[in-house]
Amino acid sequence: MERARQSIPGGVNSPVRAFRSVGGNPLFIARGNGSRIFDEDGNSYIDYVGSWGPLILGHCHPSVVQALRGVLETGTSFGAPTEREIELAELIRDAVPSMEMVRLVNSGTEATMSALRVARGFTGRDLAVKFEGCYHGHVDSLLVKGGSGMATLGIADSAGVPRAFAETTISLPYNSADAVEQAFAAHGERIAAVIVEPVAGNMGCVPPAPGFLEALREITRRHGALLIFDEVMTGFRVAWGGAQQLYGIHPDLTALGKVIGGGLPIAAYGGRAEIMNHVAPLGPVYQAGTLSGNPLAVTAGLAMLRHLKVHPEIYGRMDSLAARLIAAAPRGVTVNRVGSMFTLFFTPGAVTDWATAKVCDTARFGRYFHWMLERGVYLAPSQFEAGFLSAAHTEEDIAQTVDAALGFFAAEGI
């Protein structure tokens, strides 16, 4: 860690990896296999981070490894169209019918940034609505927090974001359809899009309240704004067709990432053809990428998605294992779960938005995190993140995890 800090800010290439909110130094990981990761000291951990979602089949799944082996010596990148990019786009369209056209990019941030730009280009409007506690990558205009009132323009939540950028975003309480109505009443004709995590994962796992997504669909349609589902985390995770399949809502645009790359850098955005036809080279909205549709990443993504497609039973199995995992939670702890993504919140109250998530006892979460780590269980190093099961997790993994957690609850007297 000291050596890393000499060359890399905070010693990490992404802030959440630094263990800042739980204390201590991050582990340096040497390798992964199945449901486990191994640190440089040879310690083994049951992994509930899964690279923050991508590794739904676990580490080094044979189908992904074999597929990559098969293409390693055919070239790593050409900067030209390849057939397998079409195959991945077709597979995504098959799983997510609302994505009539798909553009591959390299990160979830690129996917949401591009979807927002297309929405602005298509509608000719500038404003966007997001929700507090939702994270859509480090897009300048989306790194904002809510203003004082429901309809006030956003305030930058990061240095380096110009006020003018922040003020193009209105940040509202998640699960509040009334707040969205108020924002549109005040700014409706200027709002290009509402972007939402259909199941929030970045304040911890927070499912949509009954009727919330339906309200977003109806309000945006009524005001001529677009509905963007940020399914970077939920895509192919909560169901084969993502949250939009689970809740039966058709957004205008969708952002995907994580799982579709099989652990390599791939993301995508897409939606109705009449909207996506505005993207260069067809239309006036510019978006590009040197490594977009990279042959190695596409190969890994195709292998993972094809495996998921022929093994739909994986979702049911992960669902029942996850249900067993969280059954151990005591009364003083609130658990939210959608399929194989879940969060234990150290608060007795329901967690339905950022206001109810942020009251969690984060110091207790820090103790929980380290207690579990010492017992070979690797959790997301923040109360405000989702945990993930994979197809590789076993009954023994669950039993070991539950045993360690029960020990913590007893030690803390909850």
Comparing CB distances to ligand KE4, the nearer of 223 and 390 is: 390
Comparing CB distances to ligand KE4, the nearer of 64 and 267 is: 267
Catalytic site residue 258? yes
Catalytic site residue 230? yes
User: Measured between alpha carbons, how far is 28 from 37 in angstroms, rounded to an integer?
Assistant: 10
315, 237 contact by CB (below 8 A)? no
CA nearest to 26, candidates 314, 373, 269, 302 = 373
Residue 255: strand, helix, or coil: strand
Comparing CB distances to ligand KE4, the nearer of 353 and 385 is: 385
Q: DSSP states of 355-383 as a string?
A: HHHTTS-HHHHHHHHHHHHHTTEE--SST
Comparing CB distances to ligand KE4, the nearer of 219 and 260 is: 260
- From the candidates 45, 48, 135, 174, give the one annotated as an active-site residue: 135
56, 266 contact by CB (below 8 A)? no
Residues near ligand KE4 (CB under 6 A) are 14, 16, 52, 107-109, 112, 135-137, 197, 201-202, 230, 232-233, 257, 267, 385
Q: CB 411 → ligand KE4: shortest distance, Å? A: 28
Q: CB 240 → ligand KE4: shortest distance, Å? A: 18
Nearest-CB residue for ligand KE4:
108
Give phi and psi for 37, each to the nearest 5: -120, 155
Q: CB 385 → ligand KE4: shortest distance, Å? A: 5
- From the candidates 47, 230, 252, 361, give the one annotated as an active-site residue: 230
Q: CB 20 → ligand KE4: shortest distance, Å? A: 12
User: Measured between alpha carbons, how far is 105 from 94 in angstroms, rounded to an integer?
Assistant: 19
- From the candidates 45, 174, 247, 258, give the one annotated as an active-site residue: 258
Q: CB 322 → ligand KE4: shortest distance, Å? A: 18
User: Measured between alpha carbons, how far is 36 from 377 in angstroms, rounded to an integer?
Assistant: 9
266, 111 contact by CB (below 8 A)? no
Comparing CB distances to ligand KE4, the nearer of 339 and 408 is: 339
Give a three-class secondary structure readout of 121-177: HHHCCCEEEEEECCCCCCCHHHCEECCCCCCCCCEECCCCCCHHHHCCEEEEECCCH
- With tokens 């204390």, the residue in question is 23
Instruction: State the catalytic residues.
Output: 135, 230, 258
